[in-house]
Amino acid sequence: MSDVIVVGGGPSGLAAAHRLTRGGLSVRVLEASGRTGGKMSTTRQSGFVIDDGAFFIPSTYRTLRALAAEIGMADDLVPGRFVLSTVRDGVVHDLDGEHMVRSIVGTGLLSSRAKAELAKLAPELVRSRLATYDRMPKAGRYDTQSLNDWARAHLSAELQEYLTDTTMRGIFATSGDSASRVDFLAIITLFAGANLLGFRNGMASFPERLSQGFECVVHADVHEVEEGPDGVTVSWTDADGRDHIDSAAACVVATPGEMTAKIVIAMNDWRRDYLTRVRNGHVIVANIALGARPARETTYIQVPRSSHPFLTGILFDHHKAPDRAPADKGLLTVALLDSWSEDHRDDHDDDISATVLAAVDDVIPGLVAQTEFTRVTRWRQEFNTVGCYRDLGRFRESCQSDTRVQLAGDSQCMQNIEYATMTGLRAADRLLATGLFGGRRSG
């Protein structure tokens, strides 16, 4: 019997398992799918290293970088080129991500009037200092309306279109109509002045290495976590349909909020309601392997709504890290808007590929003329609805009195691999501080 069972082998669960193992505990991770890593996923095909889930690591991800260093992967995080572009009326405007202010001043993307109006964003820059992992509950006071409602009241139509809504589409594959204004503040904090990094050998190399430090059971679909006075029992079903009941002193549940609310038996209604208010949406990703490397310098082209209804951005993976495509070849990744993804999630891969290739060709003619193959993946992605940040402080406060069952995962902050990692580490630290494990202490 292990000391702790971690449910969910994504970045949050693996970070928790790692911290607990370092704290001297024996840990068993139960993961429903056939591999660990959650939404950090890499596939290799014909010499291409294809990140088909999460793709960006800004240099501001300090916790993730520290954890990578701890497991000997500091040198595997390689800097990529960071040219952030936006398409407007068929023209691609490049901004140097490392010198954003200078680039914005000189860009043809915005009219002089819109550039002058950027000064109106100065108070948002100040407020964005609250939108860090630890201070996010304080940023919750600005979580009263959607990003687009806020932008309509404060910014011109031009900035709404080419700045706020486009950023939300490009980073989150969702519209500013459903995202909170606080999501935008958090994006400013994470991306302003950042460089872009990538794991050599693909995003999945990080969770793969992390998983080596403890026992991981895949195809373990957990359906119940029950807390008793002396420990927890975790009920799960394996790939052959056999039922298991494991016992441990404690458990960390690191699954999407909707799932956590379903499987953790003892949870008050308020917490259950909070976890299910974090919307578990759909995002379809298409990777496009190109037989010839495009001449463009850009790393990421954001696609505003006026340029395409559901194409949100085009990532040039071969600029993110040197190993993503064979020499002279190119690799693109596109994420499709959540609402479109939901409507088309049951479409055949071939139909989605054909639609995506036509969409990219429409936005950047000729870019996908030399396509070697495409790959389509479907993801569930959590999105905070307006009001979640406002209640985040109360939710986190409620976690402080948890003992044997600790919660982690994307529903406890803005959704990204840095904050997911932090939720896992914090859950592990809370557990180690409970006194359940005597002398073994937090890291």
Residues engaged in binding ligand FAD (CB under 6 A): 7-13, 30-33, 38-40, 53-56, 220-222, 254-256, 259, 263, 283, 285, 335, 379, 381, 409-410, 415-418, 420
Taking the least distance from each CB to ligand FAD, the nearer of 147 and 187 is 187
CA dihedral of 218, 220, 226, 230, whole degrees rounded to 10: -50
- Min. distance of Cβ 80 from ligand FAD in angstroms? 12
Taking the least distance from each CB to ligand FAD, the nearer of 107 and 423 is 423
- Min. distance of Cβ 157 from ligand FAD in angstroms? 29
Taking the least distance from each CB to ligand FAD, the nearer of 59 and 145 is 59
- Min. distance of Cβ 255 from ligand FAD in angstroms? 4
- Min. distance of Cβ 90 from ligand FAD in angstroms? 27
Taking the least distance from each CB to ligand FAD, the nearer of 187 and 368 is 187
Q: Cα(350)–Cα(199) distance, rounded to whole angstroms?
A: 29
- Residue of minimal CB distance from ligand FAD? 10
Q: Cα(373)–Cα(139) distance, rounded to whole angstroms?
A: 44
Taking the least distance from each CB to ligand FAD, the nearer of 155 and 173 is 173
Taking the least distance from each CB to ligand FAD, the nearer of 117 and 238 is 238
CA–CA–CA angle 286, 292, 296 (5° rounding): 80
- Min. distance of Cβ 35 from ligand FAD in angstroms? 8
Taking the least distance from each CB to ligand FAD, the nearer of 256 and 304 is 256
Taking the least distance from each CB to ligand FAD, the nearer of 152 and 279 is 279
- Min. distance of Cβ 118 from ligand FAD in angstroms? 25
- Min. distance of Cβ 40 from ligand FAD in angstroms? 6
- Min. distance of Cβ 143 from ligand FAD in angstroms? 19
Check: CB of residue 401 under 8 Å from CB of residue 267: no
